[in-house]
């Protein structure tokens, strides 16, 4: 009966509670939660503090109205997206699935795994969501966005076919070659012998990347050939192939580009810190902090990325019959030989999103809806705060290899209450006594805003200092080199 009912119910985009019960997919709302510092308040149908909204006409004379948005994911990136959406006066309600303990303080959360295609589609129908925002890479690779679109929902996030830009590094290399995009020379290897040949061809430092999804931790950069080869072996056991690349010198930059499949709009560049320890020591992580803006970038940098990288890739994806609509995350290096692409992701990056969205003043719900509906062509320039933003990740003991879960968190509310400081949750859960415990490797990101980089860093670290978690770890040098003016571009060919 459930199988017969599902297509009919989804086609109408309406699922009654009775039907959802029959399907065995009744979404669980976890709470209570409050909107807190974000906007004027009212009480919504969940009995929580919400915001009052007024219809606002857009440039085409048609207002977005008041919309309901479902955000999929459970990390700090999703918490940052939700906070930004709450600031848009046209966004009536925001829901999250599955969310985390911090997200549950802001919006209703639902116990549905973001990669559960059927569960997510049923939930979107029960909520009658106007827009579904897919946060992490795993649901995109699983085809969640495709299923939602087939069911009639408006979705921000690329199709499964387009998401191959992140799901397969060798696919991304093929696209870049077709588009004429500058990137590192690379070999795709499927055997140890091939990996040894590639390592010897490029020499140290060695760069070995898992060809599949690895949550930001599938890359090893080392001068130790044995370590590089061992990482290749471990990747063969999981995904079967690795990509071995030439090493790119120069500082790295992240730039998010929002595309509707044809048009593209850049956000502001940010720099993240991938290794666990100060001075970029230790293994790679999902990211230990980020900051924006980057005063040391050359003039015209964003324009160069758009013309040399983003627009050619988006055009090539359209030519291939897999148009890219969503976030094209461009991981870039400014090398002695010019701009080079390190990698693409197909979603907002974490932790860069926490810093970037803290400065965005353009209504975020309208922006994402325009991208999801092919309407970016008429978008005016985005509005950004002049402030600097720094976010510092607080990670659990043992991260990234074996993070210790279950530790008690204290001081989070006090940190979040500081002026120009926000605490965004990633790996948190609610304890039996109502408190917070760590449930993942990266637990929190503390965001500070300031009139300059020094002030933003000071506020972020003031928040970190108030938070206690036994054995926790964080870097103390996020944005420090930039504050001191110590970042230099390598000499070489003109960009």
Q: Is 308's pLDDT higher than 50?
A: yes
Question: C-alpha angle with apex 378: 377 to 384, nearest 5 degrees?
Answer: 100
- What's residue 186's pLDDT? 82
Q: Is 47's pLDDT higher than 50?
A: no
Q: Which of 343, 349, 269 is nearest to 306 (CA)?
A: 269
The whole-angstrom separation of Cα 289 and Cα 482 is 13
Question: C-alpha angle with apex 300: 296 to 306, nearest 5 degrees?
Answer: 115
Cα 155 to chain centroid, rounded: 16
- What's residue 218's pLDDT? 72
Q: Is 12's pLDDT higher than 80?
A: no
Could you say which DSSP state residue 384 is in? B
* DSSP H stretches of helix in 398-452: 412-416
Mean pLDDT within 213-242 = 80
Confidence of residue 17 (pLDDT cuts 50, 70, 90): very low
Maximum Cα–Cα distance for the chain, whole Å?
A: 68
Average pLDDT value for the chain: 86
SS3 65: coil
The whole-angstrom separation of Cα 485 and Cα 135 is 34
CB atoms within 10 A of CB 430: 16
160's CB contacts (< 8 A; 6+ apart) are 140, 141, 142, 143, 145, 146
- What's residue 83's pLDDT? 98
Q: Looking at 20-24, 56-60, 305-309, which range is the least confident one?
A: 20-24
Find where tokens 């039996």 sit. Answer: 432
Two tokens, residue 120: 């997510």
Write out pLDDT tens, residues 64-81: 667 999 999 999 999 999
Write out pLDDT tens, residues 367-425: 999 999 999 998 878 999 999 999 999 999 999 999 999 999 999 999 999 999 999 99
- What's residue 170's pLDDT? 86
Q: Looking at 50-54, 203-207, 348-352, 360-364, which range is the least confident one?
A: 50-54
Mean pLDDT within 320-339 = 96
Do 374 and 325 contact (CB within 8 A), yes or no?
yes
Do 424 and 357 contact (CB within 8 A), yes or no?
no
Two tokens, residue 255: 């730039």
- What's residue 437's pLDDT? 98
The whole-angstrom separation of Cα 106 and Cα 35 is 4
Find where tokens 């040894």 sit. Answer: 196
Q: Looking at 110-119, 231-240, 410-419, 449-458, which range is the least confident one?
A: 231-240
Burial class (CB in 10 A: 0-12, 13-18, 19+), 109: buried
Cα 127 to Cα 91, 100, 109, 148: the distances in Å are 14, 19, 12, 13
Q: Could you tell me which residue, 210 or 429, shows the higher pLDDT?
A: 429
- What's residue 64's pLDDT? 60
Contacts 24+ apart (CB under 8 A), 338-341: 338/182, 338/492, 338/493, 338/494, 338/495, 339/182, 339/304, 339/305, 339/308, 339/309, 339/495, 340/182, 340/183, 340/184, 340/248, 341/176, 341/181, 341/182, 341/183, 341/184, 341/309
Two tokens, residue 454: 């020094």
Helical axes 2-11 vs 117-127, angle rounded to 10°: 50
């Amino acid at each position: 009966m459930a199988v017969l009912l599902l297509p009919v119910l989804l086609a109408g985009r309406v699922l009654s509670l009775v039907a959802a019960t029959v399907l065995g997919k009744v979404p669980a709302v976890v709470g209570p939660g409050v909107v807190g510092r974000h906007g004027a308040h009212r009480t919504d149908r969940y009995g929580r503090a919400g915001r009052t909204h007024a219809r606002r006409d857009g440039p085409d004379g048609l207002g977005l109205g008041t919309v309901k948005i479902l955000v999929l994911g459970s990390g700090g990136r999703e918490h940052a997206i939700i906070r930004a959406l709450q600031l848009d006066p046209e966004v009536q309600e925001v829901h999250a699935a599955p969310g985390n303990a911090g997200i549950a303080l802001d919006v209703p959360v639902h116990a549905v795994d973001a990669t559960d295609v059927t569960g997510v589609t049923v939930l979107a129908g029960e909520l009658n969501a106007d827009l579904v925002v897919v946060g992490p890479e795993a649901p995109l690779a699983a085809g969640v966005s495709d299923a939602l679109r087939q069911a009639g929902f408006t979705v921000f996030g690329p199709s499964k076919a387009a998401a191959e830009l992140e799901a397969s590094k060798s696919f991304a290399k093929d696209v870049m070659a077709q588009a004429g995009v500058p990137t590192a020379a690379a070999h795709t290897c499927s055997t140890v012998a091939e990996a040894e040949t590639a390592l010897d061809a490029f020499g140290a430092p060695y760069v070995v990347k898992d060809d599949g999804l690895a949550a930001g931790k599938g890359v090893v950069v080392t001068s130790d050939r044995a370590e590089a080869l061992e990482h290749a072996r471990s990747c063969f056991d999981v995904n079967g192939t690795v990509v071995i690349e030439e090493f790119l010198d120069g500082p790295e930059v992240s730039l998010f580009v929002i595309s509707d499949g044809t048009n593209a709009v850049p956000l502001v560049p940010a720099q993240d810190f991938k290794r666990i320890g100060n001075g970029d020591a230790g293994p790679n992580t999902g990211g230990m902090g980020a900051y924006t803006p980057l005063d040391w970038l050359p003039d015209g940098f964003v324009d160069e990325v758009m013309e040399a990288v983003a627009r050619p890739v988006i055009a090539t994806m359209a030519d291939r019959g897999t148009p890219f609509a969503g976030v094209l995350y461009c991981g870039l290096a400014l090398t002695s030989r010019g701009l080079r692409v390190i990698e693409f992701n197909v979603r907002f990056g974490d932790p860069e999103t926490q810093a970037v969205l803290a400065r965005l003043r353009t209504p975020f719900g309208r922006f994402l809806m325009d991208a999801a509906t092919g309407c970016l062509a008429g978008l005016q320039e985005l509005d950004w705060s002049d402030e600097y933003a720094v976010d510092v990740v607080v990670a659990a003991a043992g991260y990234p290899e074996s993070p210790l879960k279950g530790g008690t968190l204290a001081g989070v509310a006090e940190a979040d209450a500081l002026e120009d400081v926000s605490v965004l949750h990633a790996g948190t859960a609610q304890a039996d006594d109502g408190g917070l415990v760590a449930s993942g490797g990266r637990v929190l990101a503390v965001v500070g805003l300031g009139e300059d980089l020094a002030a933003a860093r000071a506020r972020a670290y003031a928040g970190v200092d108030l938070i206690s978690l036994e054995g926790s770890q964080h870097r103390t040098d996020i944005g420090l080199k930039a504050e001191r003016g110590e970042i230099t571009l390598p000499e070489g060919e003109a960009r």
